[in-house]
Amino acid sequence: MASYPTTTPPPATPVFLKLSFPAPRVLLVRMDRPRDLNAMPTIGQIEMNEVWTWFDDEPNLSVAIITGTGRAFSAGADLKEWNRSMAPDADPSKRMGNAPAFKPLSRRLGKKPVIAAVNGLAMGGGCEFIVNCDLVVAADDAYFALPEVKCGIAAIGGALPRLLRTVGLQRATEMALTGRNVSAQEMQAWGVVNKVVPKDQVVAEAVRYAEAIAQHSPDAIICSRAGIRQGWETAPVERAVEITLEREFAELQKGENILEGLAAFSEKRAPRWKASRL
């Protein structure tokens, strides 16, 4: 793993994830189980949870990217493990359906943006990850699906209400009840994907997005994202504004970066941002 001056070391991720730092203040998280199409076992969920918690708490990082190794972004849950967990003699408390599911990302609230670099197929929980990401770059041959209905389960990881709010009732219903594959181009037309690029440019394009974000005030990034998320997930428009003013913007006004940003604008120079304390 390439080093980067963080205030605390990243968590160990020996099984499922590889971490690197492709640009200042940018974390790249790579799911690295290509033989299994980056399907996530229980230990992978644990690694994910630890990484995203650390990322949000690390003041020297502003943006993260998630991608996959090989031809898949992620096939979602490890259904073989799930099947074993359903055996009559298995511990019911350890069944995957009773686990935190894909909460580390697909139900993550967090405070910093995550960009999905979709390098290939994104199915089930892998698709649920993407629906909850802040920006999405997809390979031109990538496709997305919620095929859980074909396996007798359901997309319970958070995608259903979020997909509804992004693409509308009929499109969300089509994906959830037919399980069909949806192309990157169609997902772009529906508003889920920001940009479609050749497969070999997916991560590079995501890094460009991340750099464009990370050059700005880390406090302003957190506050702006919070305002969007409050409106998308939590509250009516005016209440979302009030919540953001009361919480993130109130803290932003106490920090050094608002003073630095206004001074730099007045003096016509590049700002010198401090690590965020929000």
What pLDDT is recorded for position 142?
98
What pLDDT is recorded for position 91?
63
Average pLDDT rounded to a whole number, residues 63-82: 87
Q: DSSP characters for 241-256?
A: HHHHIIIIIHHHHHSH
Closest CA relative to residue 15, chosen from 36, 43, 55:
43
- 158: amino acid identity, one letter: G
Domain boundaries, the chain: 17-214, 218-267
Average pLDDT rounded to a whole number, residues 5-25: 94
The yes-or-no verdict on residue 81 having pLDDT over 70 is no
- The string of pLDDT tens digits covering residues 16-65 is 999 999 999 999 999 999 999 999 888 888 899 999 999 999 999 999 99
What pLDDT is recorded for position 1?
53
Could you tell me the two tokens for 268?
């016509």
Average pLDDT rounded to a whole number, residues 156-170: 94
How many other CB atoms sit within 10 Å of the CB of residue 9?
10
- 46: amino acid identity, one letter: I
d(CA 138, CA 118): 5
Contact assessment for residue 60 and residue 25, using Cβ atoms and an 8 Å cutoff = yes
Could you tell me the two tokens for 103?
């909460």
Strands 182-183 and 143-145: antiparallel
Counting residues of the chain whose pLDDT is more than 70, the rounded percentage is: 89
> Which of 92-96, 177-181, 221-225 has the lowest average pLDDT?
92-96
> Which of 63-67, 77-81, 265-269 has the lowest average pLDDT?
77-81
Domain 17-214: top CATH class: alpha beta
The yes-or-no verdict on residue 153 having pLDDT over 80 is yes
d(CA 235, CA 232): 8
What pLDDT is recorded for position 3?
66
What pLDDT is recorded for position 101?
46
The yes-or-no verdict on residue 251 having pLDDT over 80 is yes
- 186: amino acid identity, one letter: E
**Tokens 């010198």 correspond to what residue?**
272
> Which of 58-62, 102-106, 129-133 has the lowest average pLDDT?
102-106
> Residue 77's pLDDT band (boundaries 50, 70, 90)?
confident
d(CA 259, CA 265): 10
The yes-or-no verdict on residue 2 having pLDDT over 80 is no
Integer-rounded Cα radius of gyration of the chain:
19
